[in-house]
Amino acid sequence: METRIYSENFLIGTTELIVGDLSMGNLFGEFRPTELYFEKVQKKVWEFWKNNKPNYDKWNSLRFNAQLENGVFLFPEGGYTFSDIKELTNEPIRIDLTGIDSKIIEDYFLTKPQKSFVEKPWNEIGIEQKIAFENELNKELGNYEKSLLKFFERKPKKHLLSKMEFSALCHDQRNDDVLFEIRQENGNEKFVISHLTWSGKKEQEGYPKTEFFKDFNEFKIMRMNPDKIDYEY
């Protein structure tokens, strides 16, 4: 499936992803870079792989994203790999995404996917929106705070999402509800709706409000389908 690859909000290339090792949730394809890949990313790829102790924090700061042609953003647990070797500049570059949820692969790679994966009032999002939603959620969770005063302050109970990784997927055009795919060490839920306040800062205890779902199908049944009926009537 045609897939756009981003670093931050820059389109750095495209690829036709196919299923590799299903048990590992692996998708791969030949990476077709844009000029922005050579300008902003390639040297960092070379640097990452030549190091015996790769700096994963620096690698993750490149903030890679892969978006399918139907709008779905993938969320690979094992991250992204580019087989771009400095000494073999004429060779095709391969991209691998590992740790994709098996249901995602089944729905979008092993069967014919629908043109759109959401229905109004829920909308697909673009890369700029995705980054904005994730940045705002991090702010409201207090994940960016580094004040020395925090040491002396009463520490409120941490929000459940504070210990999770998350990736914005779609949003309700009527309000500020955003659906995020999540990863957590304990728990079966894989998706959460977070109602963003857009305060730009850490929210009071209990906020932002959240609603968890065990999978995307449960989200459709519990929220998207009822929301569609309300929206249309």
Report the pLDDT value the prediction gives residue 203, as an integer from 0 to 100.
Answer: 85
74: which 2 tokens? 């993938």
Q: Of 6-20, 54-68, 108-122, 151-165, which gets the smallest average pLDDT?
A: 151-165
User: For 87-101, what is each residue's pLDDT tens digit?
Assistant: 877 889 999 999 998
Q: Which of 34, 31, 32, 106 is nearest to 72 (CA)?
A: 106
Predicted confidence (pLDDT) at residue 165 exceeds the cutoff of 60: yes
User: For 127-155, what is each residue's pLDDT tens digit?
Assistant: 999 999 999 999 999 887 654 444 445 55
Taking phi over 0 as left and psi of -120 to 50 as alpha, with beta for the rest, 63 belongs to left
